[in-house]
A and B are shown apart, each in its own frame.
Chain A
Amino acid sequence: MKRKYLATPYIIWVVGFTLLPLITIGISAFTRDNGTFTWSNILAISEPINRQALFFSLAIALGCTLICILLAYPAALFLKSFRFKRKGFTIFLLVLPMWMNFILRILAWQMILSKNGILNFLLGKLGIAPLSISNTWGALMIGMVYDFLPYMILPVFNAISDIDEDTIEAARDLGAGSMAVFRKIIFPLSMPGMLSGVVMVFVPAMTSFVIADILGGGKVQLIGNIIEQEFMKSMDWHLGAGLSISLMLLVLISLAFTMQNDMEDRGTTIW
């Protein structure tokens, strides 16, 4: 059997589930109901309500990515210090929630954060006044970070694990304390892993709408929510498709911006 036939299932997959939908979306985005060409669906992104949703999405995605980075490094360094056996088990614990249904996990957070939920119950036991986190930006952020954190920890952990112990010892030998070792050796050498993590966190965070629906209680309108509504509620596929294309271009541009310093020498990213 010729080797190129091995790619057949993949090609069918790509054509059927990526290329064709993309073309359909593209055609919808640039046409009206009567089939004539228009830019208006694409340009709709600049309408105030959409612009604001886009801004919220961007802010949320950036915030979520940043928090994930801040949490992932200590976690990855902590994991690295473990011995082999415990390391495997800890990573297993980390990945375990990913095997559960995504909606279920978010619904669980809704319960935890709700007015009479577990969090307020525990706070009450400690004599602290109940918080109303439910249906706020905070709830949304907690849900997103919870959901996407493993996608940041794993690549960062892998990148850090790949750093030779000798390299770190060499840095210490030359006078670098723990902070300097992190700043000058571990952080720069784990950049490719972190950037992979950024792609895997930022993109879904930027386009998500389910978390906002459930944890934001409908108060928070992200660009994903608006696109969803155009498709599912207003049934305006042309506008939905136009906004989708705009969003996709924006994500691609921001990724290109993030990756540009990493393009030349490493092949670990999507470029």
Chain B
Amino acid sequence: METNEKERDILELKNISKSFDGKKVLDDLSLSIGKNEFITLLGPSGCGKSTTLRIIGGFVRPDAGSVWFDGKDITDLAAEKRNVNTVFQKYSLFPHMNVEENIAFGLKLKKKSKSYIQDKIKYALKLVNLEGYEKRNTTALSGGQQQRIAIARAIVNEPEILLLDEPLGALDLKLRHDMQQELIRIKKEVGITFVYVTHDQEEALTMSDRIVVMNRGIIQQMGTSKSIYDEPQNAFVADFIGESNIIDGIMLRDRVVEILGVKIPCVDEGFGERETVDVVIRPEDLEIKPVECGFFSGQVISVLFKGAYYEIKVRTDGYEWVSQSVNAPEVGSQVGLYVVPDNIQIMHKPKSEDAEIIKE
């Protein structure tokens, strides 16, 4: 899937570094973005994802490295000259213009004909499901409507890349879900590259062809939603993408890991003998069993109803586990915890300083 989408790279970031006030925000970041790809930069606030987007948009100049667009170096090209448009988090519609004037802004600057502009406005409003809103005042629109206008305003310029900077961040949950579907549809209809920035992992997993997980200005992992979720490459990614049980383990030999003094079969190979590792087990993979059938036994300390499942916390000697199950054990009862070898992920410990943030 990945290979066929990336038939041609449209944008390339090469060894980008950027500091603000002496604080390193991006550290030697390199990234290729394929034509027609929906790529999401995902990470906690301050991880450098927005700065990366602003470098692509031309609003921030990197301290080192270069930006390549369609094989041309555009590092020094001004924002207004790039064939890239942005949808901002705060919509940033022009308050002194109505919907129509907002959408026409870019086209008028390009001196397009009146009839062309009219056609484009009509098409764009239809695309974002706001037909007939031409003469409305933008300040009278709801947040969701304003964001749709912002998308329409960017799309009419036919950019080759659309940058979206947490565009749904200001909307409520229900609207956010609707807009996610809308964005996927719009993306399909206009057929251009989307570079999407968010800190919401669920949003990233739902919409993206490819996710770039970032932390502290460094790319932690790149891949499809599924690969990032199923095979996180380090504890940070595992922790950030979905909830996880992350616990210290020792690799005794290939396919055997010791956790909390218990030897457990797994499928990982090639670690050093007695190497200390991070062991990641997803809550939905941790099965609640009778005491005698589990690797560990412990006491159920809480059961929360979450709609489709129960979230169960179990305290064993030395760790508090989170499990998800459709059945609820009784709070206070003794249970066993079991996991099939395939569902255990073993990871190398991150080097030195990064370890602290993950472990906190």
- At the interface, yes or no: B52 with Cβ under 8 Å from chain A? no
Q: Complex Cα distance A180/B81, Å?
A: 13
Interface residues of B (CB under 8 A from A): 57-59, 78-81, 84-86, 88, 90, 92-96, 105-106, 109-110, 153-154, 157
Decide: A176 near B109, CB < 8 A? Known: A164-B92, A189-B95: yes
Residue A33 at the chain B interface, CB threshold 8 Å: no
Query: Is B105 within 8 A of A184, CB to CB?
Result: yes
**Chain A-chain B contacts (Cβ-Cβ < 8 Å), number:** 59
B79: which of A173, A185, A188 is its contact (CB, 8 Å)? A173
Q: Given A169-B59, A180-B109, A184-B105, A174 and B157 touching (CB < 8 A)?
A: yes
Q: Which residues on the A side are within 8 Å of B79 (C-beta)?
A: 169, 172-173
Q: How far is the CB of A192 from chain B (nearest CB, A)?
A: 10
**Given A169-B79, A172-B79, A176-B80, A164 and B90 touching (CB < 8 A)?**
yes
Q: By the criterion CB–CB under 8 Å, are B92 and A175 in contact?
A: no
Which residues of A in the span 155-207 have a Cβ within 8 Å of any Cβ on B?
A: 164, 166-167, 169-177, 180, 184-185, 188-189
Q: Judging by beta carbons under 8 Å apart, are B96 and A174 in contact?
A: no
Residues on A with C-beta less than 8 A from B58 are 172
On whether the beta carbons of A170 and B86 are closer than 8 Å, the reply is yes
**A166 lies within 8 A of B85 (CB):** no
Main secondary structure of the interface of A (DSSP, over half): helix
Q: A172-B59, A189-B96 are in contact. List 14 more A-B contacts (CB 8 A).
A: A164-B90, A167-B92, A170-B92, A171-B94, A172-B80, A173-B85, A173-B86, A174-B153, A174-B157, A175-B106, A175-B109, A180-B109, A184-B94, A188-B96
In the bound assembly, the distance between CA atoms of A176 and B95 in angstroms comes to: 16
Q: Is the CB of B92 within 8 A of A166?
A: yes
Determine if B109 and A169 form an interchain contact, defined as CB atoms under 8 angstroms apart: no
B106 A174 Cβ-Cβ under 8 A: yes
Q: Which of A167, A175, A177 contacts B94 (CB 8 A)?
A: A167
B57, B86, B92, B110: residue with the most chain A Cβ atoms closer than 10 Å: B92
A173 touching B80, Cβ below 8 Å: yes
Instruction: List the B residue with the shortest CB-CB distance to A163.
Output: B95
Give Cα distance in the complex from A221 to B80, angstroms: 52
Q: What are 25 contact pairs spanning A and B, CB under 8 A?
A: A166-B90, A166-B92, A167-B94, A167-B95, A169-B88, A170-B93, A170-B94, A172-B79, A172-B80, A173-B57, A173-B59, A173-B84, A173-B85, A173-B154, A174-B80, A174-B85, A174-B105, A174-B106, A174-B157, A175-B81, A175-B106, A175-B110, A177-B78, A180-B109, A189-B95
Inter-subunit contact A166/B105 (CB<8 Å): no
Closest A residue to B105 by CB, please name it: A174
* Closest CB in chain B relative to A32 CB, distance in Å: 52
Q: Which residues of B contact A166 (CB under 8 A)?
A: 88, 90, 92
Residue of A nearest to B165 (CB): A166
Q: B85 — which chain A residues lie within 8 A by C-beta?
A: 173-174
B92 contacts A177, CB within 8 Å?
no
- Closest Cβ of chain B to A256, distance in Å, is 22
Contacts of A171 in B (CB 8 A): 94, 105
CA of A100 to CA of B105 in the docked complex: distance in angstroms? 47
Q: Which of A175, A188, A189: most chain B Cβ within 10 A?
A: A175
**A176→B79 CA distance, assembly (Å):** 9
Question: Are B105 and A169 within 8 A (Cβ)?
Answer: no
* A172 to B106 CA separation, bound complex (whole angstroms): 9
| A12 vs B101: C-alpha distance when bound (angstroms) | 49
Chain A window 211-245, contacts with chain B (Cβ cutoff 8 Å), 1 for yes, 0 for no: 00000000000000000000000000000000000
- Please, how many angstroms separate the alpha-carbon atoms of A188 and B105 in the complex? 14
Q: Which residue of B lies closest to A173 (CB)?
A: B86
Sorted from nearest, which 4 A-B pairs have the closest CB atoms? A174-B106, A170-B92, A166-B92, A175-B109
Chain A residues near B81 (CB-CB < 8 A): 175
Tell me which residues across on chain A come within 8 A of B109, comparing CB atoms.
174-176, 180
Question: In the assembled complex, which residues on chain B have CB atoms less than 8 Å from the CB atom of A188?
Answer: 96
Task: Knowing A169-B59, A169-B88, A184-B105, say if A175 contacts B157 (CB, 8 Å).
Answer: yes
- By a CB distance below 8 angstroms, the chain B residues around A167 are 92, 94-95
In the complex, which residues of chain B have a beta carbon less than 8 angstroms from the beta carbon of A184?
A: 94, 105
CB pair A185–B94 under 8 Å, yes or no, is yes
Q: Evaluate whether A177 and B105 lie within 8 angstroms (CB atoms) in the complex, with A166-B92, A169-B59, A169-B88 already known.
A: no
Residues of A within 8 A of B154 (CB): 173-174
Smallest Cβ-Cβ distance to A168: which chain B residue: B92
Chain B residue with Cβ nearest A165: B92
Q: Which residue of A lies closest to B104 (CB)?
A: A174
Measured between beta carbons, the chain B residues less than 8 angstroms from A170 are 86, 88, 92-94
Query: In the complex, which residues of chain B have a beta carbon less than 8 angstroms from the beta carbon of A176?
Result: 80, 105, 109
